[in-house]
Amino acid sequence: MRGTRLYLNLDLGPPDGITELSDVDGFVVGPGVAEPPSQDAKHTWILRGVTPLDSPAWTERNARWVCAEGLDQTVRLRDGWPQLTWVPRAEIYCPSVRYDFFAAAPGEGFSVYRPDTSTIQRHRVADDEADLRDWLKRAKSQGFRTVWLHSRDAAGEGRGLDLDLLDRARRSFGGGRIWLSGGATEPRHLANLAVEGGAAAVILPRALAERCGCGSLLAALGWSDPATELPSQGDSALPSAGTPTS
């Protein structure tokens, strides 16, 4: 069985015309979807930018609630609705390295440009400028066991998922589940992810699935015959993403 689930981002719009996309494990929807689709127990539904006050009908479903407004806000929402499964989402970027001019001491030769070592910090969280490792440790200490990491740089380049980000996150978030997004534009990028391993899920734009076909994307992740796969159970067999654990 595949180690990485495949979720499609429906661009925060309504889930119209998804019949041809039904082989995937789940869908990300936004505020435009007030009520869950009826009689769909197969897929994991992920609500982004939605609260129970906006869409109370979703509270009766085994959905995942994603907050992209910072870890502190996710904690507040989780504490307000502890019966729901909350997943913090972070946008990650790599800051540019700054070079400063260092004048040579008298008699020591040429002056040179050298990197400012304080700017050599890989992977930071955009909303609070935290180091990724510190953010993940804080998320884990707050009881979250699933996080969604979106690579802003990889998304802009479109040349593949940020596997270095995944590796660093995996080492700092041991025992947790990482959802990864940003940068995948063709099936071979998912094949690279499958070889790397370590991602609980990858989240792709709907347009990619419509262009390449769900079958080719699933095959790249290691599943070539959807009919032989067990029905998706989301993360239900694992500890809740919003329940503190000791």
Asked if the model's pLDDT at residue 245 lies above 50, the reply is: no
For residue 166, report the phi and psi dihedrals to the nearest 5 degrees: -60, -45
pLDDT (average), residues 141-169? 96
Provide the domain limits for residue 40.
5-94+123-228
Does residue 244 lie within any of the structural domains? no
Query: pLDDT tens digits, residue range 173-190?
Result: 988 999 999 999 999 999
Asked if the model's pLDDT at residue 5 lies above 80, the reply is: yes
Does residue 72 lie within any of the structural domains? yes
CB 236 within 8 A of CB 62: yes
Query: pLDDT tens digits, residue range 50-88?
Result: 899 988 999 988 899 999 899 999 999 999 999 999 999
Q: What is the pLDDT of residue 239?
A: 39
Does residue 105 lie within any of the structural domains? no
Which CATH number does the domain housing residue 162 bear?
Answer: 3.20.20.70
Does residue 163 lie within any of the structural domains? yes
Does residue 152 lie within any of the structural domains? yes
Does residue 99 lie within any of the structural domains? no
Going by pLDDT thresholds of 50, 70 and 90, the confidence category of residue 161 is very high
Does residue 246 lie within any of the structural domains? no
The H or E element containing residue 135 is helix 132-141
Convert 77-106 to b/e letters by CB count within 10 Å (16 or more is b): bbeeeeebbbbbbbbbbbeeeeeeeeeeee
pLDDT (average), residues 206-222? 94
